[in-house]
Structure 1
Amino acid sequence: MLTFEYSPWYIGLCLVAGLLVAWVQYSARAPWPAATNRLLFALRALLIGLLAFLLLGPGLRLIRKFFEKPVVVVAVDNSRSVALATSDSLRTALVGELQNLQQELEDAGWQVAFSTLNKTTATPDSLRFDAVRSDIAGMLRRIINSYQGANLGALVVVSDGIFNSGFAPDALPVYTPVYTVGVGDTIPRKDLSIIEVRHNKTVYQGNRFPLEVLIRNEGMGPAVARVGVYRDGILLADKPLDITPGSRLLSERFELTADKSGKHRYEVRLQPVAGEATLVNNRTGFYIDVIEGKQKILLAADVPTPDVKALRLALEAREQFEVEVKINQSVNPNDYQLLILVQVPSRKMFSSKIKPLLNSRTARLIVAGTDTDLQALRQVGLLSINNVTGKPDKVTGVMNNNFSDFRLDHNLEELLAGSPPVYVPFGDVQLAPDDKVLLWQQVGSVPTRNPLIWFNSGEPRLGVWLGNGYWRWRLNEYARFGETTRFDELVTKTAMYLAARPDKRQFRVYPLKDQYEEGESIVFVAELYNEIYEPLYGIPVNLTIVNDSLQRQYTFTPVEGNRQFAVEDLPAGLYRFSATANIQGKQHRVSGQLAVDNPEIEETDLTADFITLRKLSAASGGAFFTADKLPELTRVLTQRQAPAIIHTREKEALLLQLPWALVALLLLATAEWLIRKSSGGY
């Protein structure tokens, strides 16, 4: 299709211009025959006319059409539960049927793609039923997002319907027909399985800690089996378990002692009982980190206040803290990792017993309210407020989004939104250059630049909670939410931050988490600093990971903007790692521990859930089939009308820019010149 920059009516003028120039050139008497003169006249007219036509800027619009075939994605649940509930021959037959499905659909004009729980793309030949979790909804959501805007004609989900991660797949809104294929057995088999072990992830050396084992009974009994708890392969305790018919959920509780520090693997084993369908789910393992000592925290005040009790309750909710409350008593500050001074020193009763606390080199949290002697705090350099009046101010808190020294997992803004105000001394707070504000004061609905809670990370660390009446926040949260999680986390994270010892090492390598699941990428972070603690980059780091049966070595180089390194495919186990680097001619070495856990949740339930699969198909307009009916599914899909999508692509180009236009002009000019030359002209 031709397009023009100017009106196409000018084409006639181009023809006239070509004829006019040719007539001027060849109207006179010529030395060659008349037939040659007429040929030369035509060539010159064409040349000039074509050149004038090209100067009009004509363009060529090319429209290209191509067809996008409909796509059917086969999502295969390759979890361990499928492998445990089906035989090798059944899985081999299933793979063969999926290959036939692919071939027949492709012959019918479909594109066929495969996906699994842990792989975006797969093939029938590459299927390995080894996924440790079944997140069917997550797999479907990933596929839908990947094919957004594409011609996705149908989804085929091959699964046992069991999901133990994410949410129910039939709750996912899907606007593409989903055809489900059920594998496995829906009839519960006689079996005993450990479904959960409730335990603390962290305990303190010397403490006793509880451990509760939950066991599902599917038609077993009467019988007696022993349940044992092992640490690093050594039996710690065992008890008899009475198995009675009709008791579907059984439990056994243990009290253990954490006598060895470090990270340890614990295992619960259930003695096999005759008639069980499988013994794989009769044992499960987990890791517990045993820490050598608690952090001692002193809560000191001249007089008892509700804030003291609220802070104590929040701190005692965490096992890692050992809290002592001292009211107007002499103490040695060096016996503690953190001093919390509530309304100390008091304007009403200044006690000499608290002077050592003000001048201590131990980390401190100052809770300074309307009864605090601010002048005394100013003299020792702990708090500076100008233009103080005797009248208190009622304020609430508003988050400082730039604070990043620690992260609050729960939504603190929910707590702040409806909490009653605290009473703060009225005046202008003077912050030090390196102070970091967590909460700003808000008067009514107006935020201010006066801080409410802030920290200084110098030596020793210092935190300030300005005001009194924080106990009302805790009561208000319980009244609104039935819990005190948000307030308690604010208190405990403050204490953890202040009591933490600063790390002055020039070389640090650590995993982002202490415990990973099998199949996860294990991410390490490397930090390198010079003598004045400026970050360094471009220095190679050698990392070694070992356990009793494996050793791997890696080398990576942190660069600015990326100090992380990922390790893949570590099997389950407890690992030790060490890293070395040469910083300014000096060799540095760090070491640590990490655990890779096999969650073993796939083994706890092997009864297929076809009801969920039927709901998923019905909600999306698809249909449900059992594995032996896969040929029928193939017939349904091949007969289904799923038209291809027609896409068009347009491209425009000026004729003057096309090579053939220039070639045509050159041929006309050359032909005219050759004929004139051969006829004796110039």
Structure 2
Amino acid sequence: MQTETLIYIVLAGIVALIIAGFQYYKKKKGMSKLNMLFSFLRFISVFSILLLLINPRFDQISLSVEKPNLVIAVDNSSSISYLKQNKQAIDFIEVLKINENLSSKFNLEFYRFGESIKTLDSLTFSEKQTNIYNAFSQLNQIYKQTISPTLLITDGNQTYGNDYQFSSSSYNQPIYPVILGDTITYSDLKIEQLNVNKYAYLKNKFPVEAILVYNGSENLSTNFIVTKENSVVYSQNLNFSQTNNSKVINFSLPANIVGVGNFKANLVPFENEKNIVNNTKNFAVEVINQKTKIAVVSDFPHPDLGALKKSIEGNEQRSVSFLNSKEIINQINDFQLVILYQPNDSFNVISEYLDSQNKNKLVIIGAKTDLDFINQNNPFYDIEITNQLEDYQAVLNVNYSPFLIDDINFESFPPLKSVYGSVIFSVPFQTILNKTKNGISINEPLLATMDVNNRREAVLFGENIWKWRSQSYLNSKSFNQFDDFIGKLIQYLASNQQKSRLNIEYESFYNGSSNVIIKAEFFDKNYVFDTREKLFITVIDKISKEQKTLPLILRNNNYQIDLSSLPASEYAFTIKATNENLSKSGNFQILEYNVEQQFLSADVTKLNQLATNSGGSTYLIENTENLVNTLLNDNRYQPIQKSSKNTIPLIDWKYLLAIMAISLGLEWFLRKYNGLI
């Protein structure tokens, strides 16, 4: 409390005393016991009123004790049950939950992880992927500012993600791995990896690379065999030893039939081999009979050109060639689609030819584009010429109907440099991306498509799309989302198929360890995305003839369903709209492969390294008796006493009002009782 406030309080007491004395002493010329009581009550009332006017503030200090957290993260992947450690893991969790000493010292926080990390409600040990690094990344967001030693209950086998043994560099908490699984190293043959393209071209050969690994000390001989429909298409004899323990085999297989070809690679196991699941891998290749060739025409280099090539050729069915405005003229008929990058007067011949032949094209407009040339040679739209440039960001138009588009967080992408001015279209068009400025849409297209007289054209009103590809990688740690977006645009432009009110998106084959997602989108008769429709999918197993009908769920701007629970087999499916006579069909295959079954034992080396780097220690699940004592006796994990100061004004103290009311009421009652009123 400030000195000035104390002086005011003292003065208030003096003033209250003077008023009370003047009322009952000076007027009565004496001080009886009754007058002394009246003076005291009047003093209390006046002093309370003056205190409320001064309203002093008091600091209230409260103390609290904050316990450290004990984070328990349990591996919920199927490798735990495959190694027969699920019961031991569940029993150990129960032991931790009922330990009163741990509960009194720590806040116990339980999680389970596989492909992602979640709060522990139950353990199924059925997840198909393990990403331990991602688990630490997510926990770091939660416990970055606290003391939180972590128990990692796992076999240490990770199927994808960054190497977790160095996670301690970002996750600054002691880690105590509790090892599930056998720590003995067994002799084992396995197919470490198969590298093969998704697509091949009819009458060609496609390359296959197999990486084979042997863990053991004995010399042995075996065969590597590749079969298709029970016919051997490739075989090779191999010899392994302790020093010669890996082989890389490169070979080619013929692509003779259009469609999906299914192959099985098998490394013949040796006698008494404990794990033969990892000796076999299935793979599939889709054979197609043509390749889409795309020409990117530009008279100057730009980073956008390389980004377009990378994105387009992410699909092996497509190839990109760079040509200038003169070279393209004699080769135009070799390409199914032409991309004109920032055209100018030198593009006059190629532009006239594309128009005369009614060819599809993509036009990209930027700072070096000749807008006069665009307006004179393009019949579909006219650009206002202001000789000014502006930076615009993008927002997705969810009602775009010609093909299915996922929102890849366009709003987070850097702005494109675009011409400042409005665009007037003379033909029907649909906007994929709208321009935004400072997060506000200005109702001008940034990317639009037109479909006129069996001719498709798209125009992008901005350059520096290479920055979008880079930002997409920063957002998702992969170029796939952006490349898929560009791929869908190219596929639309390279085809002249009529647009449909029901569009579906799926893969021809799925690995058994990946999610089987099928997407669809439905439009009303005006080609506006319709969220009221109900879509159902009927899936038929071609081998067992089992049939299922399931609803698709509306998510963002499409309908989708996850069929990951289906067993490995070949399937046919049909998606139907409930209220319209519309349907689409397709076929896909789920390849039999469970990466979690490829492990024979726990990865003790990495878990030991993780514990050492973080300042923790490792324990076997059979020998965890000392773990609790270690945690309880470690001086790093002590409760922290925290104090908090809260400043409270006197006017909030309700008892002062009660004192005023009681003193005034009691004074009035006594005066009335004694006939003084």
Q: Same fold (TM over 0.5)?
A: yes
Alignment partner, residue 246 of structure 2: 249
Alignment partner, residue 418 of structure 1: none
Percent identity over the alignment is: 20
Equivalents in 2 of 1:59, 1:523: separation in Å?
A: 65
Do the aligned partners of 1:541 and 1:579 also contact (CA within 8 Å) in 2? no
Alignment partner, residue 629 of structure 1: 623
TM-superposed deviation, 1:137:
2.1
**Could you list the per-position Cα deviations for residues 138-197 of structure 1 after superposition, in whole angstroms to 9, with x for gaps in the alignment?**
222221222122232x22233333333222223220422222333434443233323222
Query: What secondary structure is seen at the aligned counterpart in 2 of 1:196?
Result: strand
**Could you list the per-position Cα deviations for residues 400-423 of structure 1 after superposition, in whole angstroms to 9, with x for gaps in the alignment?**
86598999x9xxxxxxxxxxxxxx
Equivalents in 2 of 1:284, 1:95: separation in Å?
A: 32
The structure-2 alpha-carbon separation of the partners of 1:579 and 1:41, relative to structure 1 and needing over 3 Å to count, comes to farther
Output the amino acid matched with 2:606: T
Match of 1:541 among 534, 550, 570: 534
The structure-2 alpha-carbon separation of the partners of 1:456 and 1:511, relative to structure 1 and needing over 3 Å to count, comes to closer
Query: What secondary structure is seen at the aligned counterpart in 2 of 1:162?
Result: coil
Alignment partner, residue 609 of structure 1: 603
Do the aligned partners of 2:277 and 2:597 also contact (CA within 8 Å) in 1? yes
The structure-2 alpha-carbon separation of the partners of 1:525 and 1:48, relative to structure 1 and needing over 3 Å to count, comes to farther
Q: Which runs of 5+ in 1 are unaligned?
A: 302-309, 369-373, 388-397, 410-428, 439-452, 466-487
Do the aligned partners of 1:151 and 1:645 also contact (CA within 8 Å) in 2? no
The structure-2 alpha-carbon separation of the partners of 1:432 and 1:290, relative to structure 1 and needing over 3 Å to count, comes to farther
Alignment partner, residue 412 of structure 1: none
Match of 1:40 among 38, 41, 55: 38
Q: Which runs of 5+ in 2 are unaligned?
A: 298-305, 366-371, 398-404, 409-420, 434-445, 461-482
Residue 675 in 1 paired to residue 670 in 2?
Answer: yes
Equivalents in 2 of 1:563, 1:376: separation in Å?
A: 35
CA RMSD of aligned residues (A): 5.5
Output the amino acid matched with 2:650: L
Do the aligned partners of 1:545 and 1:575 also contact (CA within 8 Å) in 2? no
The structure-2 alpha-carbon separation of the partners of 1:665 and 1:79, relative to structure 1 and needing over 3 Å to count, comes to same
Do the aligned partners of 1:209 and 1:258 also contact (CA within 8 Å) in 2? no
Alignment of 1:168-317 (within 5 A): 168-172=163-167, 173=169, 174-204=171-201, 208-219=205-216, 222=220, 224-225=222-223, 227-230=225-228, 234-237=229-232, 239-246=234-241, 248-250=245-247, 251=249, 253=251, 255-257=253-255, 259=257, 261=259, 266-270=263-267, 272-291=269-288, 293-295=289-291, 297=293
Bigger Cα displacement from structure 2, 171-180 vs 44-53:
171-180
Equivalents in 1 of 2:24, 2:57: separation in Å?
A: 32
Output the amino acid matched with 2:257: D
Do the aligned partners of 1:435 and 1:455 also contact (CA within 8 Å) in 2? yes
Do the aligned partners of 1:22 and 1:42 also contact (CA within 8 Å) in 2? yes
Do the aligned partners of 1:75 and 1:140 also contact (CA within 8 Å) in 2? no
**Could you list the per-position Cα deviations for residues 78-103 of structure 1 after superposition, in whole angstroms to 9, with x for gaps in the alignment?**
4444443x445xx5345434443452
**Could you list the per-position Cα deviations for residues 608-650 of structure 1 after superposition, in whole angstroms to 9, with x for gaps in the alignment?**
4322222222222222333333212222212111111233333
Output the amino acid matched with 2:535: N
Match of 1:651 among 643, 646, 649: 646
TM-score, normalization: structure 2?
A: 0.68
Do the aligned partners of 1:81 and 1:603 also contact (CA within 8 Å) in 2? yes
Equivalents in 2 of 1:607, 1:72: separation in Å?
A: 27
The structure-2 alpha-carbon separation of the partners of 1:36 and 1:145, relative to structure 1 and needing over 3 Å to count, comes to same
Do the aligned partners of 1:540 and 1:557 also contact (CA within 8 Å) in 2? no
Alignment partner, residue 109 of structure 2: 113
Bigger Cα displacement from structure 2, 628-637 vs 243-252:
243-252
Query: What secondary structure is seen at the aligned counterpart in 1 of 2:493?
Result: helix
Query: What secondary structure is seen at the aligned counterpart in 1 of 2:192?
Result: strand
Alignment partner, residue 600 of structure 1: 594
Equivalents in 2 of 1:365, 1:275: separation in Å?
A: 61
Aligned residues: 584
Alignment partner, residue 548 of structure 2: 551
If you compute each CA radius of gyration, which structure gives the higher value, 1 or 2?
Answer: 1
The structure-2 alpha-carbon separation of the partners of 1:552 and 1:462, relative to structure 1 and needing over 3 Å to count, comes to closer
Output the amino acid matched with 2:613: A
Equivalents in 1 of 2:103, 2:331: separation in Å?
A: 88
Query: What secondary structure is seen at the aligned counterpart in 2 of 1:244?
Result: strand
Match of 1:146 among 142, 154, 167: 142
Query: What secondary structure is seen at the aligned counterpart in 1 of 2:357?
Result: coil
Match of 1:10 among 4, 8, 11: 8
Query: What secondary structure is seen at the aligned counterpart in 2 of 1:461?
Result: strand
TM-superposed deviation, 1:56:
0.7
Output the amino acid matched with 2:61: I
Equivalents in 1 of 2:12, 2:508: separation in Å?
A: 78
Do the aligned partners of 1:228 and 1:235 also contact (CA within 8 Å) in 2? no
Equivalents in 1 of 2:671, 2:197: separation in Å?
A: 103
TM-superposed deviation, 1:652:
3.2
Residue 136 in 1 paired to residue 136 in 2?
Answer: no
Residue 70 in 1 paired to residue 64 in 2?
Answer: no
The structure-2 alpha-carbon separation of the partners of 1:530 and 1:191, relative to structure 1 and needing over 3 Å to count, comes to same
Equivalents in 1 of 2:430, 2:533: separation in Å?
A: 35
Query: What secondary structure is seen at the aligned counterpart in 2 of 1:628?
Result: coil
The structure-2 alpha-carbon separation of the partners of 1:115 and 1:362, relative to structure 1 and needing over 3 Å to count, comes to same
Output the amino acid matched with 2:41: L
Do the aligned partners of 1:241 and 1:252 also contact (CA within 8 Å) in 2? no
Alignment of 1:216-615 (within 5 A): 216-219=213-216, 222=220, 224-225=222-223, 227-230=225-228, 234-237=229-232, 239-246=234-241, 248-250=245-247, 251=249, 253=251, 255-257=253-255, 259=257, 261=259, 266-270=263-267, 272-291=269-288, 293-295=289-291, 297=293, 319-321=316-318, 337-338=336-337, 358-364=355-361, 457-459=450-452, 460-462=455-457, 496=491, 498-501=493-496, 504-508=499-503, 510=505, 515=510, 518=513, 520=515, 522=517, 524=519, 526-531=521-526, 533-537=527-531, 539-544=532-537, 546-548=539-541, 549=546, 551=548, 553-554=550-551, 556=553, 563=558, 567=562, 570-573=565-568, 578-581=574-577, 586-592=580-586, 600-615=594-609
TM-superposed deviation, 1:55:
1.4
Query: What secondary structure is seen at the aligned counterpart in 1 of 2:656?
Result: helix
Do the aligned partners of 1:132 and 1:598 also contact (CA within 8 Å) in 2? no
Do the aligned partners of 1:197 and 1:212 also contact (CA within 8 Å) in 2? yes
Query: What secondary structure is seen at the aligned counterpart in 1 of 2:622?
Result: helix
Output the amino acid matched with 2:618: F
Alignment partner, residue 87 of structure 2: 92
Equivalents in 1 of 2:320, 2:39: separation in Å?
A: 111
Do the aligned partners of 1:575 and 1:594 also contact (CA within 8 Å) in 2? yes
Equivalents in 2 of 1:256, 1:680: separation in Å?
A: 121
TM-superposed deviation, 1:604:
3.2
TM-score, normalization: structure 1?
A: 0.68
Alignment partner, residue 54 of structure 1: 52
The structure-2 alpha-carbon separation of the partners of 1:105 and 1:571, relative to structure 1 and needing over 3 Å to count, comes to farther
Equivalents in 1 of 2:565, 2:536: separation in Å?
A: 14
